[in-house]
Amino acid sequence: MTDFEPKIVAFLCNWCAYASADLAGVSRLQYPPNIRPIRVMCSGRVDPVVIIQAFKKGCDGILVAG
């Protein structure tokens, strides 16, 4: 399983986590490329149902960062 690269959807709050991701870029910090970020205005926007649906759709993990 070591070669397995998971697909992870990341819901990022525009004001916090998305901004920190931007800064991570500016700082040229390197991290694994597995996350697929989706910008939301607040992590509260993320309906738990959507998370289950995303799993149904086949994603391997989810990150919600506010």
Subset of 17-36 contacting another protein (CB under 8 A):
17-36
Q: How far is the CB of 18 from another protein (least distance, A)?
A: 7
Q: How far is the CB of 3 from another protein (least distance, A)?
A: 10
H helical segments located in the chain: 17-26, 48-57
Instruction: Write the interaction track for another protein spanning residues 34-63; mark x where CB under 8 A is met and - where it is not.
Output: xxxxxxxxxxxxxxxxxxxxxxxxxxxxxx
* 65 Cβ neighbours under 8 A, 6+ residues apart: 10, 11, 12, 13, 16, 17, 20, 43
Kindly list the residues in this chain that would bind another protein in the complex (CB under 8 A): 1, 4-10, 14-66
